Structure 1
Amino acid sequence: MSAEHSGSRRPRTGAPRLTRHVAPGVHRLEHAHVNCYLIEDQGQVTIVDTGLPASWRILPDVLAAIGSSRSAVQAVVITHAHFDHLGFAHAIHQDWGVPVHGHPDEAYLAVHPYRYAHESPRIRYPFRYPGSIPVLARMAGAGALRVRGLEGLQAMGIDAALDVPGRPRVVFSPGHTFGHCALHLPERGVLFSGDALVTFDPYTTERGPRVVAAAATADTAEALRSLSRLDDTEAATVLPGHGEPWRHGVRAATAAAREAGVR
């Protein structure tokens, strides 16, 4: 695993890469084109999304690199329960006893992370966007095809602060999945957008703010409507589920996503 400070360029190999202090008290682990984040708060840690299974093996090293340890991890919060955000949720819950929080509408998907609704057939995308083939292969190499489901998802409310380190406010933003939620840190000006808005789409390899392709989005019209919920946060920095951080304000990001449309 390589590490960098915020502002360094990232390689495109899919190798795990830690960016410390990508936002105040927030660290980013990118692995096989999937992001998960660690929020520090008074010596405790909340993990936002759990990437792919291979990230579990390096999590102790990630924690050590930010000056923390497994005992500091008090909670996991998932933006949604697609396989590439649920990667090590089962392991951290079972082996470390860490509770995993998510919207109640994600409970079934958390148990069955491959049974997700999507508007367009997935099989056509590698033919239409051949650049996605190595991206999807890297994701598979990091365990995308062997994610274990999770029972016992802790239901979280919406439009309220979660009682976990960092106290992120839950922003209901359905469309990508039926229970998708972004997370907002108002005092830090940070929005974890999950896959409600990304800056890299693994299915098309297109970059810049956008909604994920219909191959992995349940309701694209609802996903576009949910961008207004992200606007309401007025966040300065957007940390997406896939792609680089966006530092030009959430409204600029959502405007670009609306212009890009959905593939």
Structure 2
Amino acid sequence: MRANGSSGDGIREVADGVMMITRAVTNSYVVATDEGLVLIDAGLPRSWSLLVEALAAVRGAPGDLVSVYLTHGHFDHVGTLERLQREHHVPVHVHAADRPLVRHPYRYDRESPRTAYALRHPGGLPSLARMTFAGALGVHGVDAEGSIVPGTPLLGGLVPIATPGHTYGHVAFHLPDRDVVFTGDALVTFDPYTGGSGPQIVARAATADSDAALAALAALTATAAATVLPGHGDAWVHGIRDAVGGALARGAH
């Protein structure tokens, strides 16, 4: 099984029955539950082969997915949805506030212009190039059900947590029985826009409201999860409190 990380593509098991898929510094997760196979976020279009591989590792296939749950609707988290819906009719769920973004994944608010930000932070250019090669410029939006309600459990015991800021409807997912929290882009351990590693919120070039994003970290701390599974970067195994502390110390950038 290939290793993943902020520097390489591949899959690996990061918790019991949880497969992490990494393509172009972007993560999604297959979760095996008693109620079926669930996908958290959908990566970039060219992560499809890794998705198939991750599903096979838990004795499944794309048609076996019972649901996709999105942390948010940005282009790099919805890239395989069109194919999953077209070929396998997999239902897709998101917070209602991000439903329009899933339809139009490039139309999102940000605090800084992307082009100017990239010029000021050239360390992010290699990651952005890899994302482009993985299909970042050719993502098709889809219709999703705006049915995720923070605090209302989902299949497999996943509990959505309101973490607005990166997008207005961003949610994280806590899986208490495995002591993990899927943070999406509310907290990452690698920022594609700067190339910086370590716990942090995502750069202003892709975040709607950095102050809100920092404030939302308190809700993640409340989970007390041992393992943090972010939308970008490696899994963090030192606990959510430690990760949030590092992100708060770093602040917005």
TM-score band, normalised by shorter chain: over 0.9
Percent of aligned positions that are identical:
44
Deviations 1:58-78 (A, max 9, x none): 432332233222343111000
Q: Does the Cα contact within 8 Å between 1:39 and 1:46 map onto a contact in 2? A: yes
- In 2 relative to 1, CA 259–11 (structure 1 residues): closer, same or farther, beyond 3 Å? closer
Q: Which amino acid aligns with 1:102?
A: V
Match in the other structure for 1:68? 60
Deviations 1:224-254 (A, max 9, x none): 0000011111111110000011111111111
Q: Which amino acid aligns with 2:222?
A: D
Match in the other structure for 2:219? 229
Note if 1:83 corresponds to 2:83: no
Match in the other structure for 1:97? 89
CA distance in 2, matches of 1:158, 1:218: 20
Deviations 1:63-119 (A, max 9, x none): 223322234311100000000001111221221111001100011101110000001
Q: Which amino acid aligns with 2:102?
A: A
Match in the other structure for 1:247? 237
Q: CA deviation at 1:209?
A: 0.3
CA distance in 2, matches of 1:43, 1:153: 19
The range that moved more, 213-222 or 35-44, is: 35-44
CA distance in 2, matches of 1:126, 1:222: 23
Q: CA deviation at 1:154?
A: 4.2
Match in the other structure for 2:186? 196
Match in the other structure for 1:187? 177
Q: Does the Cα contact within 8 Å between 2:25 and 2:131 map onto a contact in 1? A: yes
CA distance in 2, matches of 1:167, 1:10: 27
Structure 1 gaps of 5+ residues are none
Match in the other structure for 1:3? 2
Match in the other structure for 1:19? 12
RMSD value over aligned CA atoms? 1.5
Q: Which amino acid aligns with 2:138?
A: R
Q: Does the Cα contact within 8 Å between 1:81 and 1:106 map onto a contact in 2? A: yes
- Across the two proteins, how many residue pairs are aligned to each other? 253
- In 2 relative to 1, CA 232–133 (structure 1 residues): closer, same or farther, beyond 3 Å? same
Q: Which amino acid aligns with 2:10?
A: R
CA distance in 2, matches of 1:115, 1:218: 11
- In 2 relative to 1, CA 218–11 (structure 1 residues): closer, same or farther, beyond 3 Å? closer
Q: Which amino acid aligns with 1:246?
A: W
Runs of 4+ displaced beyond 3 Å: none
SS in 1 for 2:111: coil
Q: Does the Cα contact within 8 Å between 1:43 and 1:68 map onto a contact in 2? A: no
User: What is the 5 A alignment of 1:56-205?
Assistant: 56-162=48-154, 164=155, 166-205=156-195
Q: CA deviation at 1:134?
A: 1.4
Note if 1:39 corresponds to 2:31: yes
Deviations 1:168-208 (A, max 9, x none): 00001000000000000011110000000000000011110
TM-score by length of 1: 0.92
CA distance in 2, matches of 1:140, 1:197: 22
SS in 2 for 1:95: helix
Structure 2 gaps of 5+ residues are none
The range that moved more, 93-102 or 52-61, is: 52-61
Match in the other structure for 1:30? 22
SS in 1 for 2:204: coil
SS in 2 for 1:230: helix
CA distance in 2, matches of 1:43, 1:151: 23
CA distance in 1, matches of 2:56, 2:35: 13
Deviations 1:202-228 (A, max 9, x none): 001111000000000000000000000
CA distance in 2, matches of 1:144, 1:81: 13
Q: CA deviation at 1:167?
A: 2.3
CA distance in 2, matches of 1:69, 1:212: 32
